[in-house]
A and B are shown apart, each in its own frame.
Chain A
């Protein structure tokens, strides 16, 4: 007959095995729909503010401020949704989501510095939309089905922005970071609990 300690160890091992299988199969559902709606609204405000800037460098400052605001609002909303759903942020799906989401954003930050130094402001909206779309599409593989679709929409918009004359690109920023965030944010909030 088995002694109690190995029996307990085996039971714990089985529970750990079940948890691990669930984590590997599960998807990251704490994408914050309402947070995205707020970020979309602030992006529309940033577009309006950006249009009123005379110098391209000031326009860039407006959008960098918007990026910081989006990280704060989106991050806080994500943490709140994950906590409400008792969804651990360091679990398998969440970790894979984060690891897929961050690299394109880091590339975007580096490209922004390079484009600023070359004074190529007109290329920034296309590059930002494309890289944000790439981040969303790749991370979306570990989330609900609508997330990769949203990433693809950003990428299409980014590709179009890259080949659009200089005057057109503020509207791509409004349509992407404003419109797409609001539309997909509402879809996610309604279908996936906030």
Chain B
């Protein structure tokens, strides 16, 4: 079986990027994952080691084009990695959450919880 992997970004690269990439200040909302499709992609990948393009498409009920565009934005931000391969000669695209992406989701959750606490206090 012919098999070729073309990873755009390895996990080690992404983990190194956590230390070097500037991240939003705690008070800032991360606009990148605030968008619903991207938030769903990051949330789903947070509980699964990896998800294929088709699995994400079924989960999110998104079109191919829509999912591709949003996944590409998350890849560009190094929040997720994309590995393309062939399985029984069928192309397979697999996504994983990077350490940077996990950190971004945690910050987003913290931000939402802080908002709830702040508005409750008023």
Convert B83-109 into 0s and 1s, putting 1 for each residue whose CB lies closer than 8 angstroms to a CB of A: 000000000000000000000010001
Q: A18-B109, A21-B39 are in contact. Are A26 and B119 (CB under 8 A)?
A: no
Q: Is the CB of A15 within 8 A of B109?
A: yes
Q: A11-B116, A18-B43, A18-B109 are in contact. Are A24 and B59 (CB under 8 A)?
A: yes
Q: How far is the CA of A21 from the CA of B40 in the complex (A)?
A: 6
Interchain nearest-CB distance for A82 vs B (Å) = 15
List chain B residues, Cβ under 8 A from A5: 119
Q: Is the CB of A15 within 8 A of B119?
A: no
Interchain nearest-CB distance for A81 vs B (Å) = 17
Q: A11-B112, A11-B115 are in contact. Are A25 and B43 (CB under 8 A)?
A: yes
Interchain nearest-CB distance for B92 vs A (Å) = 16
Q: Is the CB of B112 within 8 A of A25?
A: no
The residue that A25 contacts in the complex, of B39, B51, B116, with Cβ under 8 A, is B51
Q: Is the CB of A8 within 8 A of B115?
A: yes
Q: A11-B112, A18-B39 are in contact. Are A25 and B47 (CB under 8 A)?
A: yes
List chain A residues, Cβ under 8 A from B19: none
A80 CB–B CB distance under 8 Å? no
Q: How far is the CA of A12 from the CA of B118 in the complex (A)?
A: 13
The residue that B39 contacts in the complex, of A4, A8, A14, A26, with Cβ under 8 A, is A14
List chain A residues, Cβ under 8 A from B48: 25-27
Q: Which of B53-69 contact A (CB under 8 A)?
A: 59
Q: Which of B24-54 contact A (CB under 8 A)?
A: 34, 36, 39-40, 43-48, 51
The residue that A4 contacts in the complex, of B34, B109, B122, with Cβ under 8 A, is B122
The closest CB in chain B to the CB of A5 belongs to: B119
Q: How far is the CA of A21 from the CA of B35 in the complex (A)?
A: 13
Q: How far is the CA of A41 from the CA of B56 in the complex (A)?
A: 40
Q: Is the CB of A7 within 8 A of B119?
A: yes
The residue that A22 contacts in the complex, of B47, B115, B118, with Cβ under 8 A, is B47
List chain A residues, Cβ under 8 A from B44: 21-22, 24-25
The residue that B116 contacts in the complex, of A12, A18, A26, with Cβ under 8 A, is A12
Q: Is the CB of A22 within 8 A of B43?
A: yes
The closest CB in chain B to the CB of A14 belongs to: B112
Interchain nearest-CB distance for A19 vs B (Å) = 8
List chain A residues, Cβ under 8 A from B36: 17
List chain A residues, Cβ under 8 A from B112: 11-12, 14-15
Interchain nearest-CB distance for B110 vs A (Å) = 11
Closest 5 CB pairs of A and B: A25-B44, A21-B43, A8-B119, A4-B119, A11-B115
Chain A to chain B contacts (Cβ below 8 Å), 18 pairs: A4-B119, A5-B119, A8-B115, A8-B116, A8-B120, A11-B116, A12-B112, A14-B39, A15-B109, A15-B113, A15-B116, A17-B40, A18-B109, A21-B40, A24-B44, A24-B59, A26-B48, A27-B48
**Chain B residues proximal to chain A, CB less than 8 Å:** 34, 36, 39-40, 43-48, 51, 59, 105, 109, 112-113, 115-116, 118-120, 122
